[in-house]
Structure 1
Amino acid sequence: MQPRKKIAATTLVTAVLGVGAVVATNPFVLVRAQFERQRMVAGLEADEVQIGDHRWAYAHADDAPPGAPVVVMLHGFTGSKENWYPVAERLRSQYRLLVPDLPGWGESERQPDADYGYAAQAQRVAQFIEQVARPIADEGIADKGASGTRGEVVLLGHSMGGGIAALVAAGHPQLVDRVGLLNASGVLFKDNQFGLDVLAGSNPFGVSDAATLKRYIDILFHREAAKPWIPWPASSGLIAFRREQAQFEQQVLEHIGRGPERFAPGEAAARIAQPALLLWGRQDQVIDPSAIDLFAQQMPQATKVLLDDAGHMSLVEQPDAAAAAVTMLIERGQPR
């Protein structure tokens, strides 16, 4: 073998061994690598911003026409920005997108002893919109020459993120022009096993081994074809990561599932005056579909969309339908 070929072969072997050592030490890097692949497929870019005392990680797309609405997407409990990527991929050419990891979750900063319940997170999201989303929206309108007119910000929230979005839309109407709640938490829905387990003090989403990982996925998804395939060793990395999150998840559940603010989003919904969307999966085992009518009683202006063959992860199981519903909210919803 010639010297150059020997050097190249040695470099390749060293690189492979290095990657293997990293994976062996922390197989969760495989999950992160898959997240990066999904981000690129969706056509999103990664960024960070410091807002108040938290560093936010977020994905964004800016290739929509000037003046297009800015859509902010909030994930749910145990989730992350990646949950929104299937919908984002379908919307990115029409609207400018901001898809953050909520503080405490994903790649965003978590601080010891900080409050990550509905009210505290709603204040943080309001700051994110004010400092990141609103300037983008207004700049787009200014670029079109419409002086004195502000751009639109559309706030979408899934599950816990839906509860947070309801509080933001109700408490900061000057920041949010339209709001979409998908499988949102925060109302006293019809009893199901998930809700009973939360009230009993457990975390039905807790993952500690392969069996509880399967249970977690089975609770979230209805369609078998939509359930993520997580091969070893990525699965072991995910299980280890979720074990590390157990205490934090219980702390958050004390706020949003068992504490005095657990129904705050439903109460706030009565103050939402913006055009609104309520979207649920008919087979949701987490937030029973009865919740859609409970929110609708407080938000008579909202359009209701109930998707068949979809569970709690409607935005992943039925991304075409979810994206179409969001487009309907933006294009047909009556402005205030």
Structure 2
Amino acid sequence: MSILITVIAIVAGLLLFDRLLPATSARLALQLERRRAGLTLAEVTLPGCSMPYLHGGPADAPVLVLVHGFGGDKDNFTRIAGFLTPHYRVICPDLPGFGDANRDPAASYGMGDQVERLRVFLDQLGLERVHLGGNSMGGFISAQFSAAYPARVASLWLLDAAGTAAAQDTLLLKRYLESGDMPLLLRRQQDFAVLVRSTTHRPPYIPWSLRTILAQRAIRDYPLHSRIMQQLTTSPLLETQYQALATPCLIVWGKQDQILNPAGAYSFQALFPHNQLQLMEGIGHLPMIEAPKRSAADYLAFRKTLA
């Protein structure tokens, strides 16, 4: 009985700490997640902006760069990174305008602009050729980077990627184009619950403190992110610019994705004929968060076929 009382007291104390000091609690939770995944924090300074990034894994291993989606940040890949750092040198940057990167209201954030920032980021790290992956908007950027700089991309990993007409044919995006309303754009604290329901099929546990801090950041970013969303949805689609791209590609899509249409997977198959496709039952828009172990296993299997 005394052990049970002690456990209850510890849990109650942690919950109270989480509520009373959300910024500190969220920072500690992220630090713990990163440590478990074998990731450490660093930063690269680019002309006009900075890009913090997480990195881990053997220094001499093949490099895997993972690019987050709209409204996300480098920690979108922290949970899955723990299954990848034993095999690869994993690098997860914050794109300018997101996460802990700087925000320049006067800058342009179209997909081509972000592709060029990613190129300079890789140049600064001295990375000539990498394996590249991305989720949602990050998938759009990664695919366009591969098309623009094919010699620099050994393989692609696209997780519910934006960038094709089929992918962007959803009720949520149609409503956004008609009204400007979008779950990824937060005006109020309570909108965070809508964001989680829209992007995941079975919402993962997120501490109250982290939910609070992420919601507050998104609310502050609403003006800038509204403009970035407009640039994202009006950027030229990939199929209007490229065809039959040679980069080997693993295409992953959650069958219950509400943000981007799973039919987009087939449009990416047409763009990247050398591909493998994984449609994930019971998964929404964020496979790397909703099913990190399974998603990592599929990626490791894909990489073995390349070898």
Relative to the length of structure 1, the TM-score reads 0.79
Q: Is the 8 A contact 2:256 2:282 kept in 1?
A: yes
2:153 & 2:88 partners in 1: Cα distance? 15
Q: Is the 8 A contact 1:74 1:165 kept in 2?
A: yes
Counterpart residue identity of residue 107, structure 1: D
Q: Is the 8 A contact 1:275 1:329 kept in 2?
A: no
Counterpart of 1:280 in 2: which secondary structure?
Answer: strand
- Report the alpha carbon displacement of residue 133 of structure 1 after superposing the two structures with TM: 5.5
Q: Structure 1: which 5+ residue stretches go unaligned?
A: 1-19, 136-151
- Report the alpha carbon displacement of residue 94 of structure 1 after superposing the two structures with TM: 0.6
For residues 277-321 of structure 1, the C-alpha deviation after alignment (integer angstroms, 9 at most, x for no partner) is 111111111111010011111221111111111100111111122
2:84 & 2:50 partners in 1: Cα distance? 26
Q: Paired residues, what number?
A: 288
Q: Is the 8 A contact 2:245 2:273 kept in 1?
A: no
- The answer to whether structure 1 residue 113 and structure 2 residue 89 are counterparts is no
Structure 2 residue aligned with 1:69: 62
- Aligned positions of 1:125-274 closer than 5 A: 125-132=118-125, 134=127, 153-189=130-166, 191-200=169-178, 201-224=180-203, 227-231=204-208, 234-257=210-233, 259=234, 261-263=235-237, 265-268=238-241, 270=243, 272-274=245-247
Q: Is the 8 A contact 1:130 1:175 kept in 2?
A: no
- Report the alpha carbon displacement of residue 31 of structure 1 after superposing the two structures with TM: 2.8
- Report the alpha carbon displacement of residue 327 of structure 1 after superposing the two structures with TM: 1.6
Between 105-114 and 71-80, the greater mean CA deviation after superposition: 105-114
Relative to the length of structure 2, the TM-score reads 0.87
- C-alpha distance 54-193 of structure 1, shift in aligned 2 (>3 A): same
Q: Is the 8 A contact 1:179 1:277 kept in 2?
A: yes
For residues 187-238 of structure 1, the C-alpha deviation after alignment (integer angstroms, 9 at most, x for no partner) is 11274321112212233212233432111100011014xx23332x554443
2:285 & 2:201 partners in 1: Cα distance? 8
Q: Is the 8 A contact 1:28 1:241 kept in 2?
A: no
Determine which of 73, 76, 87 is the counterpart of 1:80: 73
For residues 85-141 of structure 1, the C-alpha deviation after alignment (integer angstroms, 9 at most, x for no partner) is 122110101111111111121112222311112110001112222332526xxxxxx
1:73 & 1:229 partners in 2: Cα distance? 21
Q: Is the 8 A contact 1:255 1:262 kept in 2?
A: no
Counterpart of 2:243 in 1: which secondary structure?
Answer: helix
For residues 160-191 of structure 1, the C-alpha deviation after alignment (integer angstroms, 9 at most, x for no partner) is 00000011000001211111111000111274
Counterpart residue identity of residue 215, structure 2: I
- Report the alpha carbon displacement of residue 38 of structure 1 after superposing the two structures with TM: 1.3
Determine which of 282, 285, 289 is the counterpart of 2:258: 285
1:51 & 1:249 partners in 2: Cα distance? 21
- C-alpha distance 320-312 of structure 1, shift in aligned 2 (>3 A): same
Counterpart of 1:186 in 2: which secondary structure?
Answer: coil
Structure 1 residue aligned with 2:7: none
Q: Is the 8 A contact 2:189 2:216 kept in 1?
A: no
Q: Is the 8 A contact 1:75 1:160 kept in 2?
A: yes
1:290 & 1:45 partners in 2: Cα distance? 36
Q: Is the 8 A contact 2:57 2:87 kept in 1?
A: no
2:121 & 2:195 partners in 1: Cα distance? 30
- C-alpha distance 99-50 of structure 1, shift in aligned 2 (>3 A): same
- C-alpha distance 216-316 of structure 1, shift in aligned 2 (>3 A): same
- Aligned positions of 1:305-320 closer than 5 A: 305-320=278-293
Q: Is the 8 A contact 1:278 1:292 kept in 2?
A: yes
